[in-house]
Amino acid sequence: MRLPFLTVALTVTGVCLSLAGEAQTPAPAANPLDAIPENMPFDVSYGAPISLDRAEAAIAAAVAEAKKHHWKLNVAVVDSGTNLVAFQRMDGAQLASIAVSEHKARTAASFRRETKAFEDAIQLKQNYYALTLDGVIASRGGIPLIEGGKIIGAIGCSGGTGSQDEAACKMGAATVK
């Protein structure tokens, strides 16, 4: 007869201990994604598409930066509607990076932000939801081209490390800003 009493006593003791543990556990931090910003981030209007001449000038600046460092890159410029305007593959640049450079440029134009924002969201902030968005590439080296406060296109570089791609792209983007 003592066995059922012992079982009940141990069960009650376990419940009490588990409740005591819950009372001492701090509440989990609020989800930062639940914060509602005052202003809409990356709220940049789309403008008229970049011209071929300006796209080629942006590519030339990116390629010149790459050549200074002996980087072999692919460089693409898309317009504000994400259509390819100009592309250049440097001698010896890897073939797989052709499509990647275009993808980076399209992502930067369509999402109105540098592709580094997606890289940071995943690697630094652990916002893995970014992986579920269609058309995203979470690798730096895609930069919107903004003129007069409006996106006229974007440049994407690929073939080096992310930081090399980004450095070359910034030189190309500087021709527009």
Q: How many CB atoms lie within 10 A of CB 14?
A: 10
Residues 6+ apart with CB under 8 A from 164: 66, 69, 71, 73, 157
Strand 84-89 and strand 45-46: pairing? unpaired
The predicted structure's pLDDT at residue 7: 54
> Does residue 86 have a pLDDT over 90?
yes
The predicted structure's pLDDT at residue 5: 55
pLDDT-above-90 percentage for the chain: 65
pTM of the model as a whole: 0.78
Q: CA dist 42 to 37, 114, 125, 130, Å?
A: 12, 10, 18, 15
> Does residue 115 have a pLDDT over 60?
yes
Per the CATH hierarchy, to which homologous superfamily does domain 45-173 belong?
Haem-degrading domain (3.30.450.150)
Q: CA dist 139 to 16, 25, 152, Å?
A: 50, 38, 21
Three-class DSSP labels, 39-101: CCCCCCEECCCCCHHHHHHHHHHHHHHHHHHCCCCEEEEEECCCCEEEEEECCCCCCHHHHHH
Task: Report the C-alpha gap between 142 and 122 in whole angstroms.
Answer: 16
Q: Which of 54, 62, 101, 78 lies closest to 154 in space, CA to CA? A: 78
Task: Report the C-alpha gap between 64 and 87 in whole angstroms.
Answer: 14
Q: Give the three-class secondary structure for 168.
A: helix
pLDDT digits over 42-79, tens only? Answer: 778 899 999 999 999 999 999 999 999 999 999 999 99
